Chains A and B, each alone.
Chain A
């Protein structure tokens, strides 16, 4: 593996769920790349396929859902071809997931310490329970929980929301993964705690070269924390590029719509432009642009299949009128 090769490369990923109305492709032809030490923001509204994409990467799609096509290369290995047991050892050890709701993501019947210790022992990263416990103290200390040796014996309900979130990140990082998928890690937190949690993820990324996929619908968080952003709509990547450029000059009408629907601090009186219409029914999509029914720039030609195409260095857009988007 060369240095230039990304830690994670996904190509043409298509994950489907059978429903009564037919096959639903929750993510359809998704390509993405993520290098060690990089933070990728994944933005989109609910149902855009951003979570499904990364659950597919982690191999956590539950039957009857399945990965239909594509490849997921992690350190050059195709995870789709990997047997279940081999994939399981990769989970936690190589890649980890931090969930949105830390209260339900932590087992209410076990102490925080037990949950960290069990994870460490399950991956054989400590020789004894005592060693695993020392490591757990270290981890809690690392995520900024005061008097960690005592808090280890606490149950999740005794932690505050921010502490729970940090404890969950500590558990996720117990086996020192290379990739952290943070699925809306700060949505349930207030602003100050949110900054603390994001600072923590930032620090781990810089210090340990952790690759971070930050799934969120909060463009503000992405703008602050991620170098690169990927915008998803109706199961497809519609735009990708360096965050600053994408926010300054969106090249897809959906991204522009998302930005316009954010309240602005500089100009609080500016009316908020919600995107009209609704996401198309994913069981019945045609080959054309999926955003065209809500798009102010839509033309006849949008009925034709639209490819994700490069627009200058590092920028991708799935819009035939990308140049017209301002």
Chain B
């Protein structure tokens, strides 16, 4: 038996989980892969902010007030993306701001996904009054415009990092809940759920061990997709001054800081705006790639 034959049969025998198949499809999608690369770059920047940022993000130097970026006249490499109205280094603030934006987005999505998935599972599996309770709550929350809802909550709770996360989670879980509930409704009618019941499994076991693995991929897709919205919302709140308080850098607040100088010093608002655009676009494209990778209807085997 030749070595090649052995190799082929070995790879055939290796277990292939649905998740691994989806991952392989995701990696084969170049746009999605590039977007994932952009997200990863932002993440690394955010994590490494203390070592990567050239300056202290809060350090103001009025002599450098509105100093243009390096490619314009008067710019210099030490402050590559120029300085804002207080003479703070925009690049450093951008890097530290990524930390805030991504931290908030990940926290909100993480909490919302856990709450949404569990409540959706319970609503879809138990039906009856549990479903009525959860679904009516979801409908009620969906009735509020998201931003207005978040502004109201922030006004009540006051600004601050934790409060932003809370204000956004209050409504954000609704989106994962709806998906998880729908998927659970479909999954609970499957034979394998009936088989698990026939084997004497309780509701907790069936929900978490039988149904959850099957609803996880659509929940994952929605969660990544929603992350882009959360980043925009956080930026909007910070733009309105309801978010993270100065001098902590946040992209939304940076855009707001530059409003007064939009004609003379366009870079102060535009550069953080472009960062938001790049990250949100990358997340959207990556989540689309995820959806394509998970949706078997688009990939007949």
User: B213 contacts which of A109, A123, A150 (Cβ < 8 Å)?
Assistant: A109
Contact across chains for B18 and A97 when beta carbons are under 8 A apart:
no
User: B200 contacts which of A90, A99, A150 (Cβ < 8 Å)?
Assistant: A90
A-B contact pairs, 15 of them (CB 8 A): A88-B200, A90-B200, A96-B198, A96-B199, A99-B191, A107-B192, A108-B18, A109-B18, A109-B216, A110-B209, A110-B213, A111-B17, A119-B199, A158-B15, A171-B195
User: A99 contacts which of B17, B194, B210 (Cβ < 8 Å)?
Assistant: B194
CA distance A91 to B205 in the complex (A): 14
CA distance A96 to B198 in the complex (A): 6
Contact across chains for A92 and B15 when beta carbons are under 8 A apart:
no
Question: What residue in chain A is nearest B213 (Cβ atoms)?
Answer: A109
Question: What residue in chain A is nearest B127 (Cβ atoms)?
Answer: A63
Q: With contacts A104-B190, A153-B15 known, is A97 near B195, CB below 8 A?
A: yes
Contact across chains for B195 and A99 when beta carbons are under 8 A apart:
yes
Contact across chains for B210 and A97 when beta carbons are under 8 A apart:
no
Contact across chains for B202 and A88 when beta carbons are under 8 A apart:
yes
Contact across chains for A60 and B197 when beta carbons are under 8 A apart:
yes
Residue B13 is within 8 A (CB to CB) of chain A in the complex: yes
Contact across chains for A92 and B198 when beta carbons are under 8 A apart:
yes
Contacts of A108 in B (CB 8 A): 18, 192, 214
CA distance A268 to B194 in the complex (A): 41
Chain A interface extent, by class: 20 to 34
CA distance A88 to B202 in the complex (A): 7
Q: With contacts A104-B192, A109-B214, A122-B205 known, is A155 near B18, CB below 8 A?
A: yes
A148 to chain B, nearest CB (A): 13
Among A88, A89, A107, A154, the most chain B Cβ lie within 10 Å of the Cβ of A107
A75-121 residues with Cβ-Cβ distance < 8 A to B are: 88-93, 96-97, 99, 101, 104-111, 118-119
Residue B73 is within 8 A (CB to CB) of chain A in the complex: no
CA distance A320 to B31 in the complex (A): 76
Contact across chains for B192 and A106 when beta carbons are under 8 A apart:
yes
B59 to chain A, nearest CB (A): 52
Residue A172 is within 8 A (CB to CB) of chain B in the complex: yes
Contact across chains for B195 and A105 when beta carbons are under 8 A apart:
yes
Chain B residues within 8 Å of A, Cβ to Cβ: 13, 15-18, 190-192, 194-202, 205, 209-210, 213-214, 216
CA distance A168 to B194 in the complex (A): 13
Residue A246 is within 8 A (CB to CB) of chain B in the complex: no
CA distance A89 to B205 in the complex (A): 13
Question: What residue in chain B is nearest A147 (Cβ atoms)?
Answer: B13
Residue A234 is within 8 A (CB to CB) of chain B in the complex: no
Q: With contacts A108-B18, A110-B213 known, is A91 near B200, CB below 8 A?
A: yes
Contacts of B202 in A (CB 8 A): 88
Contacts of B210 in A (CB 8 A): 107, 110
Contacts of A88 in B (CB 8 A): 200-202
Contacts of A111 in B (CB 8 A): 15, 17
Residue A58 is within 8 A (CB to CB) of chain B in the complex: yes
CA distance A119 to B16 in the complex (A): 22
Contacts of B190 in A (CB 8 A): 104
Question: What residue in chain B is nearest A156 (Cβ atoms)?
Answer: B192
A157 to chain B, nearest CB (A): 8
Known interface pairs A88-B202, A91-B198; 10 further A-B residue pairs with C-beta atoms within 8 A, sorted by A's residue number: A60-B198, A91-B200, A99-B191, A101-B191, A104-B190, A105-B194, A110-B213, A118-B205, A155-B18, A175-B200
A94 to chain B, nearest CB (A): 9
Question: What residue in chain B is nearest A106 (Cβ atoms)?
Answer: B192
B216 to chain A, nearest CB (A): 8
Contacts of A58 in B (CB 8 A): 198
